[in-house]
Structure 1
Amino acid sequence: MSELSNTLPKCISLGPIFFVIGLVMFKSVLISTVLFAFSFVSLAGDKVILRQSEMMTIEPKGLSYHARMDTGAENSSLHATELEIIGGSAKKMKKNIGKTIAFTTENEQGEKKRMEAKIVDTSTVSNSQGTETRYIVQLPIRFEGKTHKVDVNLRDRSAMEYKLLIGRSFLKKGYVIDVSKKKLIGEQAKINVKEAGLVFNTRIDSGAVQTSLHAIDIHIEDEDKVNMKNNIGKKITFTTVNEKNKRKTIKTYVYGTSYIRNAQGDETRYTVMLNLGQKGSEHLVRVNLRDRTKMGYKLLIGRNWLQGRYLVDVTK
C-alpha cells in the first residue's frame, strides 16, 4: 500500500506534462495539414481545368478535333494516313529521324488536311492491338487561345472515335483533368452553331436523346433516294434558319441516320457532326436534321450534347 501511495502522486504529476506535449504535437500536425491544403489549392489554382474531352486545334492548318485527354499516355497521338518521307525513306524508321514527313489527317467531321512536320523520334507502343512503332513529330496544339508545341505520334486512327488523343506532355504545360466538371444551364439558352455562325434561341430538352437542328433544302451528292444508309459519308448541303430569320448554308458530310419516334409519328433523319455551344466553348455533337419550320425552337438540345458537361436547372 505504501508503494502504491508513493507511486500515485508521480503518475498524477506527469499527466499535465503528457497533456501539454500531446497538445503541442496536435497543433503541429494541424498546422502542417492546413499549410499542405493551402499549398495544394494554390497549385491547382494556377492550372487550367480540362474536361475529359475538349475541342483542340492543330496549327498552322487550323484543323479542329474533339480531343480526348489521356493521362495514361506520355505523348499525344494524331490520326494520320498516307505517310510520306520527303526525299525518300530509309529502311529503318530510326534512320528517318530529322527528315520531314508529310501525312494526311482527318477530323471527326471528315475535314482533311495535308500536313508536314519534322520527325523528332520514333516510339514503340504496346496496347491491346499489339506492338507497333510510330513516328513522333512536334506539332503546335491550340486550346482556348494558348498554343503549345508538343510531341505527337502519328497513327491510323480511322476506326477510333477520337482522332486526337492528348497525352501528358501537353497536360504538363499547366492543365489538370476533371472528368466530372459540369456547368449549369437553364431550360433555354443561346447556342451557337459554329459551322453556320448563327446563334439560336434553344430549347434544352433532357427528354430527347439527340440534338435536332432545323434544316431545309437538303442536298446530298450522288444521293441514293431508296436507301438512306447508302448516303453515309457523302457530302451534304443544307440551309438552316434561326428565330430571327437569319439563314446560312452548311456543307459537311452525312455522319449517319437516326430513327426518331415522337408524337408526330416515326421518321428516319440524316445526322451530321456539328460544333454547338456558347460562343468560344462549342463542342462537337451528333445532330439530326429535320424541317422545324412550324416549331417554336429551330434548335433542340438533347442529352447527347448535355451528357457529362451540363446540369439542367429549370429555375435559371
Structure 2
Amino acid sequence: MFKSLVGAMLFICMSFSSVAAEKQVLGQTEMMSVSQGGIVFEARMDTGAVNSSLHALNIKVLGGSAKKMKDNVGKTVSFTTENEKGQQQQVSAKIVGTSTVSNSQGTETRYAVKLPITFGDSTRTVKVNLRNRASMDYKLLIGRNWLKGKYVVDVSEQKLIGPTADISIVESGLIFDTRIDTGAVENSLHATNLHIIGEDKSNMENNVGKDVTFTTMNEKGEKAQVTARIHSTSLIRNAQGSEIRYMVTLTLGEPGQEFKVDVNLRDRSKMTYKLLIGRNWLQGHYIVDVDM
C-alpha cells in the first residue's frame, strides 16, 4: 500500500514537471512586438482573457463602414497603435469578427483582427481585439489564444493551475467555478446587498474598519451571506473609467488548501464567473497553464 502511494505521488510530480518542461515559462509581463519589425510593447500576460487585445486609435474601415459593426467583417481596417513609451505604429488588417465584452459598466463591441505577435524568435498569428487602452497600464494584453499549447505563465514558481478552477471560500461555505486571471492584481468576489452599520455613504474611506455584510452567489445559484471587516478600499481602473471597491480579507483556495487573502467586492451579476482570482492569490503559489 505504502509503495503504491509513493509511486502514485512520484508519477504526479513527474507529470507536472513534464508539462512545465515541454512549455516555455513566461513572466507576468514580457517584451513583445506586433507585426514584423513593429514597435515593442511591455505586454501583460492575461490568462483570464480568451483573446489578446491591442491598444488601437483612429480605427477606420477602408472603403467605408457599414452601419452595423458585424457587417464590416471581411473588410480591411487601419488604425494607430501606441506602446507604453508613446511610440506609434500604423497597422492594417482584415476584420475577422466582432466581440461583445460585458463588464460592470455594460457591454462594448470591438473589432477583432488577426495579427502576428512576436516574442523572441517565436511568432504566433492570433485573433486580437482592438480597443482604446489609453487608460490602461499595458497597451498589449496577451490572452489564452496566444499562450495555448506552448507557454505557461509563472507568477509563483510553484504548483500548476489551469485557467479555471474550483475555489472554496470558507466564510461562505460555497465552491466557485473560478476564473484564474493573471491580468488582475486583486481577487474579486460577487457581492450584492452590502450593509454596513453606521455607513458613511458620502465617503467610502470613512467605512474602513467597519464590518460589512453582503450576499454572494456562485455559478450554480447557491447563495450565502458573509460578514467581514473592511480593511481598505481599492481604486480599479478599466476602459470605462475608474471604480472604488471595498477590500476584505477572506479564506479561499482549492478545497482543503485555503489561505487568507485580500478580496475586492463588486456586483459581478453580469459576469460568467462570480469569483476572479488575481495575482495577489497566485503569487508565491501557482503557475498558470491555460491548457489544463
* Structure 1 unaligned blocks of 5 or more: 1-22, 182-307, 309-316
* Cα distance per residue 1:149-170 (max 9 Å; x no partner): 0111000011111101110101
Letter in 2 for 1:56: M
**Which of 81, 98, 108 does residue 57 from structure 2 map onto?**
81
2:137 counterpart residue number: 161
Q: Distance in 2 between matches of 1:90 and 1:46?
A: 45
1:56 counterpart residue number: 32
**Which of 9, 12, 18 does residue 42 from structure 1 map onto?**
18
1:113 counterpart residue number: 89
Which has a greater percent of strand?
A: 2
The structure with more radius of gyration: 1
Q: Distance in 1 between matches of 2:145 and 2:25?
A: 16
3-state SS of 1:162 partner:
coil
**Which of 107, 116, 121 does residue 145 from structure 1 map onto?**
121
Does the Cα contact within 8 Å between 2:84 and 2:138 map onto a contact in 1? yes
Larger RCO (alpha carbons 8 Å, 6+ apart): 2
Q: Distance in 1 between matches of 2:28 and 2:59?
A: 29
Q: Distance in 1 between matches of 2:95 and 2:83?
A: 22
* Cα distance per residue 1:116-162 (max 9 Å; x no partner): 01111111011244310001111100001100001110000111111
The alignment of Structure 1 onto Structure 2 pairs a total of residues equal to 158
* Cα distance per residue 1:195-247 (max 9 Å; x no partner): xxxxxxxxxxxxxxxxxxxxxxxxxxxxxxxxxxxxxxxxxxxxxxxxxxxxx
1:101 aligns with 2:105: no
Q: Distance in 1 between matches of 2:117 and 2:105?
A: 27
Cα displacement (A) at 1:92: 1.1
Q: Distance in 2 between matches of 1:105 and 1:79?
A: 6
Q: How is 1:121-136 mapped onto 2 (pairs within 5 angstroms)?
A: 121-136=97-112
Moved over 6 A (4+): none
Q: Distance in 2 between matches of 1:119 and 1:173?
A: 25
* Cα distance per residue 1:6-28 (max 9 Å; x no partner): xxxxxxxxxxxxxxxxx3xx333
Which has a greater percent of helix?
A: 1
1:31 aligns with 2:7: yes
Does the Cα contact within 8 Å between 2:38 and 2:89 map onto a contact in 1? no
Q: Distance in 1 between matches of 2:40 and 2:105?
A: 27
Letter in 2 for 1:125: V
Q: Distance in 2 between matches of 1:92 and 1:108?
A: 32
Q: Distance in 2 between matches of 1:111 and 1:174?
A: 29
Letter in 2 for 1:140: P
Letter in 2 for 1:42: S
Letter in 2 for 1:132: E
Q: Distance in 1 between matches of 2:139 and 2:13?
A: 38
* Structure 2 unaligned blocks of 5 or more: 158-282, 284-292
Q: Distance in 2 between matches of 1:89 and 1:129?
A: 26
Q: Which moved more, 1:123-132 or 1:84-93?
A: 123-132
Q: Distance in 2 between matches of 1:54 and 1:150?
A: 17
Q: Distance in 1 between matches of 2:13 and 2:59?
A: 49
Does the Cα contact within 8 Å between 1:61 and 1:113 map onto a contact in 2? no
3-state SS of 1:74 partner:
coil
How large is the Cα RMSD of the aligned pairs? 1.6
Cα displacement (A) at 1:37: 1.6
